Amino acid sequence: MKSLILATATVLSLTGMAAAADHEVKMLNKGEAGAMVFEPELITIAPGDTVTFKATDAGHNAETIPGMLPDGAEPFVGKMGKDVTVTFTEEGVYGIKCKPHLGMGMVAAVIVGAPVNLETAKTVKTPGKAGKKFEALLGGL
């Protein structure tokens, strides 16, 4: 009986691991949407998925924006010029910025499952072009 329970638990855990997906978002000096961008700028994933913010071009980082996180989510700050991989477990909208290029509009949105904090995320003020970029990214949700 113990071996049957152990075998069932192993199969269930492997099934759960297989369901999680890995995604990549590039940090670029120039992309399809212009200069200083994340590509893609908007990504929708499932809870438990991971996103690697790829330092394709030097001088960028990826970090969460205060106030643009769902309840219970852990903020993160990636190091300058380094990839950072994050597992997103809480459903909602995550605002992401490149700290040195925030005013230039270098932001992205990660939607995990249902955008439960969408209205709160829309009220967060960001400088320069970032605010207009978030209006465009989150406006259609």
Q: Which residues contact 2 (CB under 8 A, 6 or more apart)?
A: none
Q: Which of 90, 68, 76, 88 is nearest to 22 (CA)?
A: 88
CA 4 to chain centre: 39
Kind plus residue range of the DSSP H or E element containing 102: none
36 annotated as a binding-site residue: no
- What is the Cα–Cα distance from 26 to 60, expressed in whole angstroms? 10
Confirm or deny that 23 is annotated as ligand binding: no
According to the annotation, is 68 in a ligand binding site?
no
According to DSSP, the β-strands at 22-31 and 34-39 are: antiparallel
Q: Which residues contribute to the annotated binding site for Cu cation?
A: 60, 98, 101, 106
Q: Which residues contribute to the annotated binding site?
A: 60, 98, 101, 106
